[in-house]
């Protein structure tokens, strides 16, 4: 099992005698071994090594593309910050340079001088550590709390400070809050502020069918069930050395609650169809919008699992209770959308600001983001108005038509409800129709009659 505190080296070499020599010459580093592409990817995902030495001349596949290049590409894809040192033949400079262009840290020609190799590996570890530290410092200097959670609300800032204190520990964290409040952003920030070198992995327990969820979490061996044509690593293993967020953990089926509890106690798993105990070092962050204590009383959640998950409990307030955050988030979203779409940053009109501050935001940050995206696209000019947002302006006297013409008032209310439903459903007609309590044909008729652009 990899250690969070000690950096890990992975040695990939198909010649087993040479593999042993490399391990012996690099014995001052903690290492794991692999001899082909499949085992290397599995070990890399399981342990998350900081540095890799690999033989570029692994056996070629049917297309005559070396397994070495395929493996190099896969490792860089899994972790762009990992330092990969390729070992090549004496006259193979062309492929060595190609490996560098693909993202390898360095190359050495065989036979490799053990002292030179040890020095190169040591330098790679040092560079990786410096880059990680630089990344952490940049995040600390960033004005966005926890590198992504934008807030000026005092209660949210207190939560951010609390998460920063908890981050270096291994305590299990339970995030509570309404849907769309930013639980995943907070979990990602918790991981980024920790000392963990592995990946941040998130899984929504409510979005995966119960029959597939166990395999998604714990993985399975080849032949474990019909359709299991190969061994698959689960999310828990994938997050080894890092953080696993279990979103909507209140929807976790009772049999899996028992299995998760066992993992939290033993810190090891068995894949479906497997007999091997696999040690995994992963921090669990649970998240839910449900009241788990009520679920416990109703027999829907294990009390012993709750206390394992709730070592640190963080309650995230809804957006309507976060003073000043709605407008602040709107400005941030506008800047991001302008950057993504390569156009000037739009601004908010005074009536838009008042409307945003007065709205209750039942869908929280997710609703706000969807509404801003839609308004940004549909706005005629460079200023977004309350009309673009389809939000009422508080304290604004209605015009003559709206105060006297009930049909017009009803149409305006219908139009606003349809636009908000489409925004919350991210344009999905089926979901929007369900929110409004109408059929899909009726919703299409409303969209056409009210001249709503999609």
Distance CA 40, CA 240 (A): 15
pLDDT exceeds cutoff 90 at 433 = no
pLDDT exceeds cutoff 60 at 1 = no
Weakest-pLDDT range from 10-24, 80-94, 161-175? 80-94
Instruction: Tell me which of 350 and 230 has the higher pLDDT.
Output: 230
Residues 72, 106 contacting (CB under 8 angstroms): no
Q: According to the model, what pLDDT value does residue 285 have?
A: 97
Distance CA 157, CA 177 (A): 16
Distance CA 326, CA 328 (A): 5
pLDDT band at 411 (very low <50, low <70, confident <90, very high): confident
Distance CA 53, CA 49 (A): 11
Distance CA 190, CA 99 (A): 34
pLDDT exceeds cutoff 80 at 4 = no
pLDDT exceeds cutoff 50 at 10 = yes
Strands 173-176 and 200-204, sheet pairing: unpaired
Q: According to the model, what pLDDT value does residue 386 have?
A: 87
Q: According to the model, what pLDDT value does residue 203 have?
A: 95
pLDDT exceeds cutoff 50 at 143 = no
pLDDT band at 62 (very low <50, low <70, confident <90, very high): very low
What's the average model confidence in pLDDT over 388-404? 63
308-320 pLDDT, tens digit per residue, is 999 999 999 999 9
pLDDT band at 378 (very low <50, low <70, confident <90, very high): confident
For residue 427, the 8-state DSSP code is T
Q: According to the model, what pLDDT value does residue 146 have?
A: 60
Distance CA 30, CA 110 (A): 23
Distance CA 415, CA 388 (A): 12
Residues 182, 150 contacting (CB under 8 angstroms): no
What's the average model confidence in pLDDT over 94-115? 87
Q: What are the Cα distances from residue 273, in Å, to 119, 222, 226, 257?
A: 43, 8, 11, 19
Per-residue tokens: 65: 């593309």
pLDDT band at 265 (very low <50, low <70, confident <90, very high): very high
Question: Do you know the residue count of the chain?
Answer: 454
In a 3-state reduction of DSSP, which class is residue 201?
Answer: strand
Instruction: Tell me which of 118 and 323 has the higher pLDDT.
Output: 118
CB-count exposure of residue 284 (10 Å: 0-12, 13-18, 19+): buried
Instruction: Tell me which of 126 and 428 has the higher pLDDT.
Output: 126
Tokens 């109703």 correspond to 298
pLDDT band at 214 (very low <50, low <70, confident <90, very high): very high
Q: According to the model, what pLDDT value does residue 395 have?
A: 58
In a 3-state reduction of DSSP, which class is residue 53?
Answer: strand
Q: According to the model, what pLDDT value does residue 423 have?
A: 64
- Strand blocks (E) in 270-415: 278-279, 283-288, 312-315, 347-348, 383-384
Q: According to the model, what pLDDT value does residue 81 have?
A: 83
pLDDT exceeds cutoff 70 at 299 = yes
Cross-strand partners of 247:
204, 287
pLDDT exceeds cutoff 70 at 417 = yes
Per-residue tokens: 133: 């530290």
Question: Within a 13 Å sphere around the CA of 349, how many CA atoms are in the beta-carbon half?
Answer: 18
pLDDT exceeds cutoff 90 at 137 = no
Q: According to the model, what pLDDT value does residue 136 have?
A: 58
pLDDT exceeds cutoff 90 at 188 = yes
Q: How many CB atoms lie within 10 A of CB 277?
A: 10
Q: According to the model, what pLDDT value does residue 401 have?
A: 46
Nearest-10 Cα torsion for 375, 380, 385, 389: -30
Q: According to the model, what pLDDT value does residue 396 have?
A: 55
Q: According to the model, what pLDDT value does residue 63 have?
A: 45
Q: What are the Cα distances from residue 280, in Å, to 165, 222, 240, 267?
A: 24, 20, 6, 6
């Amino acid at each position: 099992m990899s250690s969070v505190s000690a950096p890990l080296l992975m040695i990939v070499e198909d010649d087993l005698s040479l593999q042993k020599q490399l391990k012996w010459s690099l014995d001052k580093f903690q290492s794991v071994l692999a001899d082909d592409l499949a085992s290397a990817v599995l070990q890399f995902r399981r342990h998350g090594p900081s540095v890799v030495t690999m033989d570029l001349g692994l056996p070629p596949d049917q297309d005559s593309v070396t397994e070495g290049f395929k493996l190099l590409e896969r490792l860089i894809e899994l972790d762009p910050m990992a330092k990969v040192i390729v070992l090549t033949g004496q006259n193979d400079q062309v492929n060595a340079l190609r490996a560098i262009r693909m993202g390898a840290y360095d190359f050495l020609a065989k036979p490799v001088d053990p002292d030179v190799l040890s020095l190169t590996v040591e330098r790679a570890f040092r560079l990786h550590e410096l880059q990680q530290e630089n990344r952490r410092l940049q995040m600390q200097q960033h004005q966005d709390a926890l590198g992504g959670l934008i807030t000026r609300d005092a209660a949210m800032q207190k939560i951010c400070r609390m998460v920063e204190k908890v981050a270096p520990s291994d305590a299990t964290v339970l995030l509570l809050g309404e849907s769309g409040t930013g639980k995943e952003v907070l979990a990602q920030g918790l991981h980024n502020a920790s000392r963990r070198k592995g990946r941040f992995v998130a899984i929504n327990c409510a979005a995966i069918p119960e029959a597939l969820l166990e395999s998604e979490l714990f993985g399975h061996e080849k032949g474990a069930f019909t359709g299991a044509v190969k061994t698959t690593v689960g999310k828990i293993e994938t997050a080894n050395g890092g953080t696993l967020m279990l979103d909507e953990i209140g929807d976790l089926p009772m049999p899996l609650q028992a299995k998760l509890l066992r993992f939290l106690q033993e810190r090891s798993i068995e894949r479906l169809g497997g007999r091997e105990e696999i040690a995994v070092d992963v921090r669990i962050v649970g998240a839910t919008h449900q009241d788990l204590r009520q679920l416990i009383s109703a027999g829907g959640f294990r009390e012993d699992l709750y206390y394992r998950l709730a070592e640190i409990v963080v309650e995230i307030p809804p957006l309507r209770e976060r003073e000043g955050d709605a407008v602040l988030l709107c400005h941030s979203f506008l800047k991001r959308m302008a950057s993504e779409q390569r156009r000037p940053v739009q601004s908010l009109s005074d009536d838009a600001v008042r409307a945003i501050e007065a709205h209750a935001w039942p869908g929280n940050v997710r609703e706000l983001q969807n509404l801003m995206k839609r308004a940004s696209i549909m706005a005629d000019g460079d200023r977004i108005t309350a009309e673009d947002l389809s939000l009422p302006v508080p304290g604004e006297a209605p015009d003559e038509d709206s105060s006297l013409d009930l049909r017009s008032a009803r149409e305006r209310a219908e139009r606003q409800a349809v636009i908000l439903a489409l925004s919350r459903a991210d344009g999905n007609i089926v979901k929007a129709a369900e929110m409004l309590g109408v059929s899909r044909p009726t919703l299409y008729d409303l969209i056409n009659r009210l001249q709503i652009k999609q």
